């Protein structure tokens, strides 16, 4: 077994109580629980080779958002909207004389 090193760090009192409660419920030491939680965090944390879009739930949400956006933007011409806004403020645009 690898030799362990002692580490001193601070935790909010409420969090420490929660850690102690879980450790007692699972019949293990505070240190054992914190070691396991740390290992889990290191292996599962975001950005470790997995992009959010790789999550099936995220992919499904993005697809649903695209479907909704397509319903509202179907046939939408942003240039025409800008032209109407400009015309309403400054009058119809004149074509340049040739």
Q: Could you tell me the pTM of the whole model? A: 0.46
Give whole-number Cα distances, 22 to 6, 13, 34, in Å: 21, 14, 10
Please give the Cα distance from 31 to 54 (Å, whole number).
33
- According to the model, what pLDDT value does residue 55 have? 82
Which letter does DSSP use for residue 27 in this model? Answer: T
Please give the Cα distance from 97 to 70 (Å, whole number).
39
Query: Digits of tens for pLDDT over the chain (98 positions)?
Result: 678 889 999 999 999 999 999 999 999 999 999 999 998 888 877 666 677 778 889 889 989 988 888 887 777 788 888 888 888 888 876 655 65
3-class state of residue 40 by DSSP: helix
Quick one: tokens of 93? 């645009």
């Amino acid at each position: 077994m690898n030799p362990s090193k002692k580490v001193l760090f601070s935790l909010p009192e409420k969090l420490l109580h929660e850690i102690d409660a879980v450790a007692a419920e699972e019949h293990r030491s505070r240190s054992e629980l914190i070691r396991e939680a740390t290992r889990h965090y290191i292996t599962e944390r975001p950005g470790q080779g997995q992009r959010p879009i790789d999550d099936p739930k995220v992919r499904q949400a993005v697809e649903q958002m695209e479907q909704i956006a397509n319903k509202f933007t179907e046939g939408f011409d942003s240039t025409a909207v800008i032209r109407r806004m400009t015309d309403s403020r400054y009058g119809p645009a004149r074509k340049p004389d040739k």
